[in-house]
Amino acid sequence: MTQVFLHIGDMKTGTTSIQRALMRGSWSGVDQTLCYPVTEGHPYHHPLGSAIHRGDKAAVAQQMSAIYARIKKSGADVAVISTELLEEVPAVEVMRVMRDHLGEFAEGLKVIAYVRPHAERVLSSWVQVTKLGLSFKTQADFYGKLAPGKLAYADRFGAWRDLIGDRFVLRPMIRAELAGGDVVQDFLEIVFGSQSVEAERDLELNESLSLSDLVLLRHLHKHPRRMPQKNTRGARMRMGEYLSYILSAMPRRRDKRPMLSRELYERIRQERSADADALDKAFFSSSIMSDALVRAAEKTVPAEQPLEAADYFSADQIRHINAFSILLHDMVKFAPEVMNVCLTQKVYVTMRESVWAARDTSAAQSK
């Protein structure tokens, strides 16, 4: 019988790289077959995660029916369902869905999660929501609005272990702790149960943006032509996602990276030290999360980094950015649903292709 794994994130723990590898079959060294039962046009199972999160039973049933049918038809040794949107859903609710809709595969279902150290998670999440168009005045403002359970790791992951025991696997998103120092390699060794599997070494799809890149996206999203209506939200988020892929693929000069301010780091350290210690004791054999929280102090800046475009770009550059901002926002306003579909497809193609045309073109031009 097919062994099914449910990959629940967390967000910002290499999920994009894992999903891209699953979609492309980017590994060798094992004879086992793997089914990644995604719908055409979606590189992940976010429609399912979203439906579960909002409690839409009809949509859940529709998504799960399709997933079950694909797994059943495949006859694969292993199948993976992957969506980090489930990190905000209580374990008991997720498992209820799996038991109700996954048939004979539900009983042996295994769940995999990766967890990023607290301070790193705050920074990476702030970068993510900024590039997708959710603007906060400061990092501290963003931290204050985080969902209470997001960083309560010990309780959140403990609930999974209490529910399904050792069928829940938690791995630290710390390079030195991962198989081969790589999250994709680590994930594949778990699902195939073999160290002989070898992940393809590929360009990182979701490379970190430079600070100036992030400021550019932030400025674009804040443009007066931006349409705040709900029906444009999806298209605006996919626009930010796709633009971030384009920017990270282009050769660039060495530039500053987004960093936490020392003041915010100290707040995180004080508020999350107990959770880091509890997580270490419950899941890991050493104080890796607590040590990571301490080490995060080395990657801070004395004060929050400026986020206004004028601090990074000339007046002429901002004029050009504004012109393209108007063009993009007018396109979204005119056809939000069409733009959402088109940009989602571009994200899908970007994740699927082995070589990015954007990087190839930029590299050729730089010679």
Contact 220, 236 (CB under 8 A): no
Q: Give residue 361's pLDDT.
A: 36
Q: Are the CB atoms for 187 and 170 separated by under 8 Å?
A: no
Beta bridge partners of 300: 260
Residues of the chain with pLDDT under 50: 354-367
* 263 burial level (CB within 10 Å; 0-12, 13-18, 19+): middle
* 3-state secondary structure (DSSP) of residue 122: helix
Tell me what pLDDT residue 129 has.
Answer: 93
Residue 169 C-beta-side C-alpha neighbours within 13 Å: 16
User: Which tokens in the block code for residue 163?
Assistant: 């529910």
User: Is the separation of the CB atoms in 197 and 27 below 8 Å?
Assistant: yes
Q: What is the pLDDT of residue 45?
A: 96
Find the farthest-apart pair of alpha carbons in the chain and give their distance in angstroms, rounded: 63
Q: Is the Cβ–Cβ distance between 49 and 163 less than 8 Å?
A: no
C-beta neighbour count of 206 within 10 angstroms: 17
Predicted TM-score (pTM) of this structure: 0.90
Where along the chain do its domains lie?
3-116+173-199, 211-258+305-366
Residue 363: its pLDDT value, please?
39
Residue closest to 310 by CA, chosen among 222, 212, 208: 212
Burial of 160 (0-12, 13-18, 19+ CB in 10 A): buried
Contact (Cβ atoms closer than 8 angstroms) between residue 2 and residue 75: yes
Question: For residue 4, how far is the Cα from the chain centroid?
Answer: 21
